[in-house]
Amino acid sequence: MFLDFDPELGIPAGRNWERELYAQLRRADAAVFLASPHSVASQWCFAEVTLARSVGKPVFPVAIADTSRPSILADMQWIDFGREGDLAFERLITGLRLAGLDPSDSFAWDPQRAPYPGLDAFAAEDAAVFFGREQEVVRLLELLHPTLERGSGRFVAVVGPSGSGKSSLVNAGVLPRLAGPKGQWTILPRIVPGARPTANLARSLRAAFAEAGEARSQGELEAKLKSGPDALIDLARDLCDLDGTRAVLIVLDQGEELLTRTALGEREEFFDLLGRSLTDESPVWVLATVRSEFLGGSSDERKIAELIDDPLVIEPLSRPRLPEVIGGPRSAAASSSLGDWCSA
């Protein structure tokens, strides 16, 4: 969201305001025109609306005072706050959503980041330029809805071959949307199992407690987790109390490392810790990524498969999705400050 006089999100001191306004209009998904006698008479507001329409941005005209309506917006359906009252807010929100502008899918973009990460996975900071996996994102959000009647199933996994985009889907597609609504999720920093998955889980918990304002030592948390699944459930409840949330999400990336890098004893301990903590009464959930070739017939591979309640199987992006994957970031980053990235 951009409002020119906002002290944090507006035009910084010393910046050329005209260029900044035009850059922000090109970057925006839509513009809301607040019609008053002053804005209708302003040549600069007229120029902004003209630019927005010329580059194909939807414009939502909202009358906030009795005034004439500019001819450039005569073909648009208007909202009148004076006559409609609170209903006007509902109409505006409905109009935004029908135009594909749901606020839950809107993310800020750092102009210092490259819109195309290359061979690296997309991160949460790249949510604004992550395209092509809308159906998969929606499905994962459905599976992770904590009020869904799903028995004891709380282990959701994205399964696919190497290079299919599992980590990007989770990091840039799902986690930023879960982080939006307050009061639902405490999301732990992601862990990669490595040689010591329990220690890595303790490290993630320590970071989450620190973020919530409570210091817990690495040694304390590791020792507590070693005592069994009840300890993980208790720690999750403590985090929920601190954050005012209902559930704690463990993000387990590259879950196949439990087979390739974790020793047998540590692996068995971690399987037991997770498996027995995912009960109906527990606030613990797991979202994992696992390479499909590691869900075969060996006993350890079967143990991973048995932990998974709801798998979402993905393949590398198909050719019909590529125009959106390539063009989406370019459109999102289309401003003067990001032109070099887009043409590189």
Asked whether residue 41 is assigned to any structural domain, the reply reads yes
Kindly report which listed range (141-155, 235-249, 273-287) carries the lowest average pLDDT score. 141-155
Taking 90 as the threshold, does the pLDDT of residue 149 lie above it? no
Taking 70 as the threshold, does the pLDDT of residue 180 lie above it? no
Q: At 150, is the pLDDT very low, low, confident or very high (cuts 50, 70, 90)?
A: very low
Give the mean pLDDT of 259-266: 93
- Examine the domain organization and report whether 98 and 138 are in the same domain: no
- Examine the domain organization and report whether 79 and 160 are in the same domain: no
Give the mean pLDDT of 35-39: 94
- Give the position of tokens 């992550």: 130
Taking 80 as the threshold, does the pLDDT of residue 140 lie above it? yes
Asked whether residue 55 is assigned to any structural domain, the reply reads yes
pLDDT at 103: 62
Q: At 327, is the pLDDT very low, low, confident or very high (cuts 50, 70, 90)?
A: confident
- Examine the domain organization and report whether 101 and 160 are in the same domain: no
- Examine the domain organization and report whether 175 and 67 are in the same domain: no
Domain total in the chain: 2
Taking 70 as the threshold, does the pLDDT of residue 201 lie above it? yes
Taking 80 as the threshold, does the pLDDT of residue 244 lie above it? yes
Range of the domain at 177: 133-316
Share of the chain above pLDDT 90, in %: 47
Q: Per this entry, what is the length of the chain? A: 344
Kindly report which listed range (40-44, 74-78, 130-134, 181-185) carries the lowest average pLDDT score. 181-185
Q: What is the mean pLDDT of the chain?
A: 85
CA separation, residue 150 to residues 51, 147, 245, 267 (Å): 49, 9, 19, 27
CA distance 169 to 144: 14
Asked whether residue 199 is assigned to any structural domain, the reply reads yes
β-bridge pairing 284-291 and 59-63: unpaired
Taking 70 as the threshold, does the pLDDT of residue 344 lie above it? no
- Examine the domain organization and report whether 66 and 169 are in the same domain: no
- Examine the domain organization and report whether 83 and 144 are in the same domain: no
- Examine the domain organization and report whether 37 and 175 are in the same domain: no
**What is the domain-level CATH number for residue 190?**
3.40.50.300
From the list 189, 194, 219, the residue with the least C-alpha distance to 207 is 189
Share of the chain above pLDDT 70, in %: 89
Q: At 175, is the pLDDT very low, low, confident or very high (cuts 50, 70, 90)?
A: very high
Q: Are 256 and 290 in contact (CB under 8 A)?
A: yes
Asked whether residue 341 is assigned to any structural domain, the reply reads no
Q: At 333, is the pLDDT very low, low, confident or very high (cuts 50, 70, 90)?
A: low
Asked whether residue 56 is assigned to any structural domain, the reply reads yes
Distance from the Cα of residue 225 to its chain's centroid: 29
Asked whether residue 183 is assigned to any structural domain, the reply reads yes
Give the mean pLDDT of 305-319: 88
Buried/exposed code over 246-267 (b: 16+ C-beta within 10 A; e: otherwise): ebbbbbbbbbbbbbebbeeebb
Give the mean pLDDT of 194-217: 96
pLDDT at 339: 42
**What is the domain-level CATH number for residue 93?**
3.40.50.10140
CA distance 286 to 106: 25
Taking 80 as the threshold, does the pLDDT of residue 335 lie above it? no
- Examine the domain organization and report whether 81 and 208 are in the same domain: no
